[in-house]
A and B are shown apart, each in its own frame.
Chain A
Amino acid sequence: MRHDEIRELLGVYALDAIEPSESEAVEAHLSICPECRGEVDAHRAAASYLVDVSDEAPAHLWDRLNDGIHRAEVVEFRRPRSKLSPVFAVAAAILVLAGLVVQTIRLDQTKVELALAQQTTSDLELALAAGDLQKAATLASTNPAATTAVIDGSLGAGTVIILPNGVGFLIGEDLPSLDNQHTYQLWAIQEGEVVSAGILGSNPGVTTFTIERELLEGLVITAEKAGGVAQSQETVVSAWFPET
């Protein structure tokens, strides 16, 4: 097929409207012709703007996807970000005004050898891969660049460890057990946006989560119905706001 014949097919190729018998010739040509490849990319970009941006995926699709990526691993899922509800915003503000007990402990970096830190990181990755969150959290706490803090409130306290790369651990063993119809849920506040950082379960142990550390403005815990929620309407039971 000649170059001009291929070019005539680029529009229908970009829309998957080409005949299968012609597709192979176009793909072979695209592999050697950056100009035509660029045209296909441009066609696809233009077509993508025709897609309705107001559509929403069904709520259970995230759970299905999460199951797919997790299989039987123990790491809890994080739901997509949600806007801060008015109730949640008020509750968070009240907690700030109440002057919650906040303890931030930064380990002295000078006391830890660099080689030891590298070994610890490697061991931590192995522990995470093995699903041993208790060990991973313990190793994380020895990282000199980690932030360790107490997330405290009316029901009890937990310990938060956040590594420079945004991987965090919550040790929630001091939080009282909930009935099996409810779960604790961890939320990160990042530049005013609330991110569900993990479902902790009714009897929290050690959970890992990921946040954008440089944007982090606080962590809060709520008690929610089992399975967690995308947007909380509950009051905050524990919170931590970094010292500025």
Chain B
Amino acid sequence: MTLTIKTKTDDSFLVASLAQKDEGALAEIYRRHSGQVFGLARRLTRNDALAEEVSQEVFLRLWKQPAKFDPSRGTLRTFLLTHTHGRSIDLIRSESARRMREDKENSLMTTTGRSIDEHVIDLTIAETVRTAVSQLTDDERRAIELAYFDGHSYREVAVLLDQPEGTIKSRIRTGLRRLGTTLNELA
């Protein structure tokens, strides 16, 4: 028997199967995306317990409300990570979680404080994303990093980088547009 690994089933088909409470479909979705969901939640919350809480919420929400995913607006991966990011931000902006996060901050920064380009190491897409990230200016990259991975509001980013708020808004928007355009071109 020749054994090869294939993942032919489309994410949209799997989500549609969730409407029939197909646990196998959820397991496959989890297998495909849980690492990134958990990784992003942990990167933001800097706390494994909070990251698990966020991850569970994200997948449970999909399980209960699969119709919330609209494939015309993007991939399931983007959908899950968007909710992971939003929920993580909600948590880290709550006072109790902020304390937990700050307690962990120093130790985490010594172990997982990586820059954006160190975050994209999957061999199949790393080169493409690295190329796209390399098209950003340092100012754009830093602003996006502080907002997306450190969970700062643009006003906080402005203070941290000692720049006008309008400049930070513009850098983030311009950087994301360039990133998206480059990824599309390379894809």
Q: Which A residues have a C-beta under 8 Å from some C-beta of B? A: 8-12, 14-19, 37, 41-58, 61-62, 64-66, 68-69, 75, 77-81, 83-84, 89, 92-93, 96, 165-166, 191-193, 195-197, 209-212, 215
B132 at the A/B interface (Cβ < 8 Å)? yes
Most A C-beta atoms less than 10 A away, residue of B22, B38, B148: B148
Tell me the complex Cα distance, A42–B184, Å: 10
Tell me the complex Cα distance, A84–B2, Å: 11
Docked-complex contact B24 and A210, CB < 8 angstroms: yes
Docked-complex contact B40 and A61, CB < 8 angstroms: no
Residue on A with the closest CB to B166?
Answer: A8
Q: Kindly provide the distance from the CB of A35 to the nearest chain B CB, expressed in whole angstroms.
A: 13
Tell me the complex Cα distance, A92–B2, Å: 11
A18-B119 in contact given A49-B183, A50-B148, A68-B56 (Cβ < 8 Å): no
Residue on A with the closest CB to B21?
Answer: A69
Tell me the complex Cα distance, A92–B3, Å: 11
Docked-complex contact A193 and B5, CB < 8 angstroms: yes
Other CB < 8 Å A-B pairs besides A19-B153, A57-B35, 15 of them? Answer: A9-B169, A16-B86, A16-B147, A18-B154, A41-B78, A48-B78, A50-B129, A52-B119, A53-B120, A53-B121, A62-B27, A69-B26, A77-B23, A77-B27, A78-B24
- How many A-B residue pairs lie within 8 Å, measured between CB atoms? 211
Docked-complex contact A55 and B36, CB < 8 angstroms: yes
Docked-complex contact A57 and B154, CB < 8 angstroms: no
CB neighbours of B122 from chain A (8 A):
53-54
Q: Kindly provide the distance from the CB of B104 to the nearest chain A CB, expressed in whole angstroms.
A: 16
CB neighbours of A215 from chain B (8 A):
8
Q: Which B residues have a C-beta under 8 Å from some C-beta of A? A: 1-9, 20, 22-28, 30-31, 34-40, 42-43, 48, 52, 55-56, 59-60, 63, 73-75, 77-78, 81-82, 85-86, 89, 114, 116, 119-122, 125, 129, 132-133, 144, 147-149, 151-155, 157, 166, 168-170, 172-177, 179-180, 183
Q: Kindly provide the distance from the CB of A209 to the nearest chain B CB, expressed in whole angstroms.
A: 7
Most B C-beta atoms less than 10 A away, residue of A8, A48, A62, A84: A48
Docked-complex contact A11 and B4, CB < 8 angstroms: no
Which listed residue, B85, B116, B169, touches A8 by the CB 8 Å rule? B169
Tell me the complex Cα distance, A60–B151, Å: 26
Q: Kindly provide the distance from the CB of B73 to the nearest chain A CB, expressed in whole angstroms.
A: 5
CB neighbours of B5 from chain A (8 A):
83, 192-193
Tell me the complex Cα distance, A49–B179, Å: 9
CB neighbours of A83 from chain B (8 A):
5
CB neighbours of B75 from chain A (8 A):
45, 48
Tell me the complex Cα distance, A79–B20, Å: 18
Docked-complex contact B78 and A44, CB < 8 angstroms: yes
Q: Kindly provide the distance from the CB of B83 to the nearest chain A CB, expressed in whole angstroms.
A: 10
Q: Kindly provide the distance from the CB of A84 to the nearest chain B CB, expressed in whole angstroms.
A: 5
CB neighbours of B82 from chain A (8 A):
44, 48
